[in-house]
Chain A
Amino acid sequence: QAVVTQEPSLTVSPGGTVTLTCGSSTGAVSRGHRPFWLQQKPGQAPTTLIYNVDIKHSWTPARFSGSLLGGKAALTLSGAQPEDEADYYCLLLYSGPWVFGGGTRLTVL
């Protein structure tokens, strides 16, 4: 099965902007992969922030946005808050099976 790659860790300053990316071993990520972005805090179940590239759930803070960027899926956080410190996972569809990326640990510091 395909391998989905994410940055293992990133750091952003409070109020700053950071972009997390999600690549695919099979080539460019497209809308057909229906990229998801999930947030997970310690000891909690994941929460889905973004699906189908750029669609937000009602609970997704406006400071999060999804896009396709340079052949990858991207999650941009603009105006980071301390509560955004968490693990972030992308998820891609491959004509039936789904594959998660390894996750990005985001530190707000």
Chain B
Amino acid sequence: EVQLVESGGGLVQPGGSLRLSCAASGFTFSNYWMKWVRQAPGKGLEWVANIKEDESEKYYVDSVKGRFTISRDNAKNSVYLQMNSLRVEDTAVYYCARDSGLDYWGQGTLVTVSS
């Protein structure tokens, strides 16, 4: 059974950092692009970042460029989102998803940026 489990969310002050993790199981992780998508409270979905199977390609939404870094460890079947210089507007539930028709999603982890 394919599973994606996010972790690492929490409350952080503006300007702070968090590292989100997404642990994958039930499939050959190294064969798939992965995505991070977020959803601010009461708002729509926003694509955040993508990473290719071998990390050779990474893409980011403009609002996080230079602050967020997507990475992966295929030996640990995990994808990460390092978030620095966090802003209030980064408050959201962060989902990871398998980029094969976006067929599998995690349940999300909540990041709250507030003083």
In whole angstroms, what is the CA distance A91 to B45 when docked? 9
Q: Which residue of B lies closest to A99 (CB)?
A: B47
Q: Taking the complex as formed, is A55 at the interface, i.e. its CB lies under 8 A from any CB of chain B?
A: yes
B62 at the interface (CB under 8 A from A): yes
A1-B62, A97-B61 known; A51-B102 Cβ under 8 A: yes
B46 within 8 A of A: yes
Q: How many residues of B contact A (CB 8 A)?
A: 20
A45 adjacent to B46 (CB under 8 Å): no
CA distance A48 to B103 in the complex (A): 6
Find chain A residues with CB under 8 A from B50 CB.
96, 98
How far, in Å, is A21 (CB) from chain B's closest CB? Answer: 16
Q: A46, B105: Cβ atoms under 8 Å?
A: yes
Interchain CA distance A66-B53 in the complex, whole Å: 28
A45 vs B94: C-alpha distance when bound (angstroms):
10
- Tell me, yes or no, whether A100 is within 8 Å of chain B by CB: yes
What is the interface size of chain A, counting residues whose CB is below 8 A from a CB of the partner?
23
**Given the complex, which residues of B lie within 8 Å of A102, measured CB to CB?**
44
Q: How far is the CA of A38 from the CA of B107 in the complex (A)?
A: 15
Give A43 to B62 CA distance when docked, in angstroms. 27
The answer to whether B44 and A100 touch across the interface, beta carbons within 8 angstroms, is: yes
- Given A89-B44, A98-B47, A98-B50, is A45 in contact with B61 using a C-beta cutoff of 8 Å? no
* Interfacial chain A residues near B45, Cβ < 8 Å: 38, 40, 46, 89, 91, 100, 103
Let me know if B105 and A45 touch, CB within 8 A.
yes
**10 A-B pairs with least C-beta separation:** A51-B101, A98-B47, A48-B102, A103-B44, A96-B59, A45-B105, A100-B45, A102-B44, A89-B45, A97-B59
Seen from chain A, the residues whose Cβ lies within 8 Å of a Cβ on chain B are 1, 36, 38, 40, 45-48, 51-52, 55, 57, 87, 89, 91, 96-103
List chain B positions with a Cβ less than 8 A from chain A.
35, 37, 44-47, 50, 57, 59-62, 95, 101-103, 105-108
